[in-house]
Amino acid sequence: MLTDVLMTVLAPDNLLIIVLTTIYGCFIGAVPGLTATMAVALLVPFTFFLDPIPAISAIVATTTTAIFAGDISGTLLRIPGTPASAAYVDDAHTISQNRKPRTALLISLSTAAIGGVIGVIILMLVAPQLAHIAISFSSYETFWLACLGLSCAVFVGGGSVPKSFASLFIGLAIACVGIDVAVGYPRYTFGVDDLMDGITFIPAMIGIFAFSEVLRTVQTLKKNEAQLQTITEPFFSALAGALQAIRRFAVTILRSSLIGTVVGALPGAGADIAAWICYALARRFSKEPNSFGKGSMDGIAAGGSANNAAISGAWTPALVFGIPGDSVTAIAIGVLLLKGMTPGPRIFIDQPELTSALFGSFLVANIMMVPVGMLAIFCSTYILKVPRAVMAPVILLFSLVGAYAISGTVTAIWIVLVLGLVGYLMAVVEIPLAPAILGIVLGKIIEDNFMVSIIKAQGDLLAFFERTYSLVLGILTLIIWTLLIIRAVREMIAGDQRERASANSRKKDTQTSEPDVLQG
């Protein structure tokens, strides 16, 4: 059967499909505002004419490459292609501004491929065991897991803890827009019907990162400044630097791949939470934690490997129990059902060739992503040679088109413009942007699961700690919250002491200068 699977996966027509969808996913993922989920959704009509294995191969290859390609716009333009990329977008963009954009992108590409391969291997070996953990997760565990993700956002926000909390609460406030899940009453919609479903995170992310970046670019634009960044390092020099970084951060890559696979297997978690958790852990165990958010290659390695490992993990509950691990696997389940296949426990017995072909397609797609990604990196870095005066309106155009493509309403464009102004003001007062994005992404998940849980428990908060997994996650989250509060208080006290010392210093200088004035 293994020989048959290899012949099926490596058949010329299947390989051609993988190559074409890899290129397609790379293009879609690199365009700001176009996500992996949209790429797969647009691919669904074409899968109607394919056999099950080529159809799954196309979905797998598109998803794998599109997740990585989201780092291209994040590194070059500071516009993360996915919410998971927002975890390390500041590091990648800082390295790009330091004239090493290809190095940052090659690190992201290499770690994504490694994480994807490790995730597939884990999926092949322990899929039933991971699925057993995943299926036991209820609304209680999902709530605590999302809270843990928010806590990691504050840890790695890049600014002080109070400012990171402020950014997080801004994101949560934006996530409150829409219908209240408990009472069905609209909140903060101002009579706009398009806001009833809430603010989609893609227009929000485009506004906070892309439009605010355009505003900063226009503000700092000088008449004698011709180019955004004219110097990029030679390609082979960048490749050598990326390989050196992989050897240096091998432990980080392995740890993030393992954790990313497990987190990705949990329903409702996905690559977003996985990337933030692995990024926070990398900063915790790093010898240079202060470099995170300021050009840390370690942070890129952690987030990049966790992203693609989580993609593999998300297929675990989808295959074993028919429960989608994320939006992409939800679409994939729909495609399988249209092909007359029902994902579930018996799929390993009734159709073992399908699961084996899925694993093989994942491996081939991650390997194929490397040469295609290198070509995309080589071509895309020439964007840096475009003058700022030309690049700013082009970024704005792509941003508005991408936002409109998500919902097809003008409201999405207004969301981009308003949140772009909010993001610009946040940057002016040095409030980090990344925690706000995670607050928007996870806010709805936290609210939905909290309300479901509290209704099931009839208002008993102790029910959040009665189950084994919820008890562990709850205690871990509360410990992290306590540490964050202590750290915030210390930072506030230290800030007050610095202000008092500065005031005393100014007072002494004034008193010293007064006798000279009187004498004169």
Among candidate residues 455, 440, 473, 481, the one with its CA nearest the CA of residue 173: 440
Q: pTM score, two decimals?
A: 0.71
CB distance 341 to 354 below 8 Å: yes
Q: Give me the phi and psi of 179, to 5 degrees please.
A: -75, 130
Given a cut of 70, the residues of the chain with pLDDT beneath it are 1-6, 32-35, 83-84, 127-135, 152-153, 155-159, 220-231, 267-271, 317, 320-327, 330, 340-342, 344-350, 383-386, 388, 406, 495-496, 506-520
The per-residue pLDDT for 226 is 42
Alpha-carbon torsion, ordered 310, 242, 291, 77, to 10 deg:
-80
**What is the model's pLDDT at position 347?**
67
* DSSP calls for 321-386: TS--SSHHHHHHHHHHHHTT---STTHHHH-HHHHHHHHHHHHHHHHHHHHHHHHHHHHHGGGGGS
pLDDT confidence of residue 202: 72
Give backbone dihedrals phi and psi of 251, rounded to 5 degrees, phi first.
-65, -40
Which tokens sit at 68?
Answer: 């990585």
In angstroms, the CA 299 to CA 251 distance is: 12
Q: Which of 346, 351, 373, 335 is nearest to 8 (CA)?
A: 351
Helix (H) or strand (E) holding 407: helix 388-407
In 3D space, the residue among 163, 167, 185, 164 whose CA is nearest the CA of residue 176 turns out to be 185
**CA distance readout (Å), 111 to 66, 108, 180, 250, 302:** 14, 5, 40, 9, 8
Please check whether residue 109 is in contact with residue 301, taking contact to mean a CB–CB distance below 8 angstroms: no
First to last CA, the chain: 100
At 67, list the tokens: 């997740």
Specify whether the CB–CB gap between 255 and 281 falls below 8 A.
yes
Count each helix (H run) and each strand (E run) in the chain, helices first: 21, 2
What pLDDT is stored for residue 426 in this prediction?
A: 87
Pairwise CA distance, residues 296 & 427, whole Å:
20
Residue 16 CB: number of other CB atoms within 10 A?
11
Pair 453, 466: CB distance under 8 Å? no
